[in-house]
Structure 1
């Protein structure tokens, strides 16, 4: 309809042609054809005047508008009639893959590991792959193994390809030089495995080397059919590490800033707390002095041990300096003063952090309603607060004890004993040796109790006494040859130089050895302005 002008049916283009035909040809048939074409042309012209695509936004309500609306409605209805239904199409699904099929598909995928493939298989070969008649054998394999926490020495070797019998033999050789349990976790082992005699046999161990201790490396080497162990000693310097500095705003932070390990500083504060109050007596102008066990190998590795010596130089006039040394006496390590006097033992500690709610003596029982002797002291404390041993002792009883509920009784030296009642939970067991300050249970309200508290008793030869009336102390004293060794060790440690090459702090150890209470160490040769030094 829109191409009528280009096809020769338009009025402007057709009229001259028809006129030419009429004027030149007088054939009647041609005249009939000309008449038909004229009528068709007029009909098409009338159809062309009909506007099929009506703008429904214009001339609303006219005949053309209603005709366009009817056309649009008819088209919409026809489209709806030919629209497909909403019922889903049914199609057969494939069978569910089994475990074997899934493993095969995972191994045959392009990137099986990227999608969680864990079979360890390779991609399936194609027809272009040619199988080798015999796989070439590597002459040797170099491996690095690491000893894990709680791991076994022979287990590590077996896990890295060493045969079971050969791994046991190597472990036996190594155990002759160092205990297998003493090898630290994380130790790296370098292994060399040789050519195996058959495809189904494990590779023989040709070489094994590792650092057994700071001062010793071990190597296991093959000599023909046998294995031999070679020890490689390493020179180690055991000069202690000495750290000094001013206390400043915080003793702990100043010592840490000076280079002291955190554990050594914690030990220093606990040892110092036996002689002075760290929070009250230590001032910012005081100087701390720590000597720590330290070992340095010729290969550069270092090991830092525990605290050997703790010192504190007081800045006030007439203040007593602290000089204490860790010493083993009677099979037990403890801190001794420079005069040879050990730590005070036996002083009763408060068994729980709380307040006294009922003292020792006659009182009216809150549950029974009559007066009777209260054989201890009640400490009010929150439920679950830790209860500690008042002094060193052995657990004599642990369990339920009538009105005391959950109860623990300790036996101490000198015929003394202590009891702890109304616990919520007991930690100590019968026969256990506990130290002063060690947790033995937790506050509760078991037995005849009106609320969470600790009932604390003190006995002397089986008779209950007032716990506040007993104050006893005992301190070991070194003498004779042991005192001489103690003084020699102290002098040697105090002669330790600092790392900056300054002269060592000269100690008046001879004066301190005379048991003078005001022993003092001169601070000579120390450069001024240095707040912290490290040895």
Structure 2
């Protein structure tokens, strides 16, 4: 204990007395110069704040300019009304909404206003015919007189009975303004089609119409290539339009499963109707031929052909469409098969005459094959039902639908929309009950196959083969050429 006292005494001698617990010695940094004069008036702290404020005001007076006056402030140069109008007419948004044009430029340091501006002897305009519009109205909106617009519209309708297609671009030249303030039509020119130019020119006898034919090559376009990573994207990379690519895939789908039966080394081949003008423009037509050479599998070769009043895809031997099985009526898994089963509502075993697809409510239902609608409406426990009659005594039905979009007696194609999945009738939830009949007797839909039959024979088959030879000669220098090809199958 005595040793501890000696140590504390020595520490006090060297470092001074120890600080009091809980208190700190004040310094000049603790002086508060910023004081709220509304707090503790007339106190020592308040007077210290007054002194600080007085010193700041004195320092400001010493550094202030002489004479002491407010700094000039204003809005700058104001634009005149004419300049504001010019800015309005040159802005992007008003131009996009069709603002007036032709306003005079406002005067500035580089532009002086003229007492009288010379008027243009003629004005060149450009217009596009919209949907539901007509030539006379377009010309009147462009500044032509009612008389000239009516005359021009009459001449054009006589030369083009089918009319001018919407979207056609029209070049219009208006002449010198008459004393009445109306400019006459000097010239109208537009492209009426890929192979026709139309022009109207003012002469001594009024407007005169003239046409000029453009040479057009009607040779179809053939595109071939390797499937690679994906058939659709390979087609698009080869220059095939989305419409033609979709038609090509739908044509192949009538024969094979495009998703699983096409490999990366397969070679696609298609022919598209095409018209190319001598001026460089081209116009794509419908798909004429769809083929694919599959590695290690039978090739698929189809050509579009009109037979029996409708156009269909015919295989190259003229036998008709080869449909291995009926197409799935809905994109969904099978939840219940064909045969004896325990009914979930009636609670006893009975024959399940079809198969059930576990599709969600509102899913589209399509026809499994071509046929005629024999029934469309309520069918008791089947709920809303559509029945189709197919060739060869075959039939199919689609039950428990939520909505039907076809009418009895109408003809439908494979893949055409019939209605939507629902839960009408005796049903525990949304699904499609699908049945197939042979001569009125229900059969297992998974076992049904259609036997192809020859659709072409005799002279019709000969014309089919000749047309196929023409298409296969395209892009093949070794094939014989026909001087007058038939492009209209």
In structure 2, stretches of 5+ residues that fail to align are 1-27, 32-42, 57-79, 482-489
- 8 Å CA contact 2:82–2:106 kept in 1: the answer is no
Could you tell me which residue of structure 2 aligns to residue 408 of structure 1? 386
SS at match of 1:139: coil
In 1: Cα distance, 2:235 partner to 2:114 partner: 70
1:491 equivalent in alignment to 2:472: no
Question: What secondary structure is seen at the aligned counterpart in 1 of 2:176?
Answer: coil
The whole-number CA distance in structure 2 between the counterparts of 1:165 and 1:180 is 23
Q: What SS does the aligned partner of 2:279 have?
A: coil
What do residues 327-360 of structure 1 show as CA deviations (whole Å, max 9, x unaligned)?
A: 2222222222222222146953222233444455
Q: For 1:144 and 1:359, how far apart are their aligned partners in 2?
A: 66
TM-score (norm 1): 0.64
Q: Which moved more, 1:374-383 or 1:215-224?
A: 374-383
- Residue of structure 2 equivalent to 1:140: 122
Q: Which has the larger radius of gyration?
A: 1
| CA shift in 2, pair 1:372/1:170, >3 Å | farther
Aligned to 1:322: 300
Per the alignment, do residues 472 and 336 of structure 1 end up closer, same or farther by CA in structure 2, a change over 3 Å counting?
Answer: closer
Contact 2:323 2:449 in 1 (8 A): no
Does 1:234 find its partner at 2:214? yes
Equivalent in the alignment of 2:486? none
Could you list the per-position Cα deviations for residues 374-415 of structure 1 after superposition, in whole angstroms to 9, with x for gaps in the alignment?
A: 554332222222211122233344444443333333344455
Superposition map of 1:441-520 within 5 A: 441-459=419-437, 467=445, 470-497=448-475, 503-504=477-478
Shift of 1:364: 5.0
Which stretch shifts more, 449-458 or 342-351? 342-351
**Kept after mapping to 2: 8 A contact 1:327/1:336:** yes
CA distance in 2, matches of 1:68, 1:383: 81
Relative to structure 1, the CA distance from residue 124 to residue 181 in structure 2 (aligned partners, 3 Å threshold; closer, same or farther) is closer
Take 1:116 and 1:312, find their aligned partners in 2: how far apart are those partners? Answer: 52
Question: Aligned with 1:176: secondary structure?
Answer: helix
Q: How does 1:514-533 map to 2 (within 5 A)?
A: none
> Which residue of the partner structure matches residue 330 of structure 2?
352
Other-structure match for 1:222: 202
* Cα distance in structure 1, aligned partners of 2:367 and 2:433: 13
TM-score normalised to the size of structure 2?
Answer: 0.69
Deviations 1:285-316 (A, max 9, x none): 44333222222211121223232223334454
**SS state of the match for residue 269, structure 1?**
helix
Q: CA deviation at 1:454?
A: 1.0
Shift of 1:193: 1.5
Name the stretch that deviates more: 356-365 or 141-150.
356-365
Give yes or no for contact 1:382–1:443 (8 Å, CA) kept in 2. Answer: yes
- Structure 1 segment 42-441 matched on structure 2, within 5 A: 73=50, 109=84, 113=88, 138-180=120-162, 183=165, 185=167, 187-200=168-181, 202-316=182-296, 319-344=297-322, 348-359=326-337, 365-369=343-347, 374-414=352-392, 416-441=394-419
User: What is the alpha-carbon distance in structure 2 between the residues aligned to residue 182 and residue 110 of structure 1?
Assistant: 37
The farther-off stretch of 450-459 and 280-289 is 280-289
Q: In structure 1, how many angstroms separate the alpha carbons of the residues matched to 2:342 and 2:463?
A: 59
Contact 1:497 1:504 in 2 (8 A): no
Coordinate RMSD, CA, aligned:
4.3
Q: CA deviation at 1:215?
A: 1.0
* Partner of residue 19, structure 2: none
Q: Does the 8 Å contact 1:110/1:123 carry over to 2? A: no
Does the CA contact (< 8 Å) of 2:325 and 2:448 recur in 1?
no
1:174-228 deviation digits (Å, cap 9, x = unpaired): 233435556252x32111122344435x432221111111111111222334323
Distance of aligned partners of 1:417 and 1:165 in 2 relative to their CA distance in 1, 3 Å threshold: farther
Aligned partners of 2:355 and 2:403: how far apart in 1? 20
Partners of 1:297 and 1:334 in 2: CA distance: 29
Alignment deviations for residues 116-158 of structure 1 (CA, whole Å, 9 cap, x no partner)? 88986979999x98976xx865432211112235543333323
Is 1:346–1:474's contact at 8 Å kept on the other side of the alignment?
Answer: no
Distance 1:199 1:163 in 2: 10
Alpha-carbon distance, 1:233 to partner: 0.3
Residues 221 and 470 (structure 1 numbering): CA distance in 2 closer, same or farther, change over 3 Å? same
Aligned length: 411
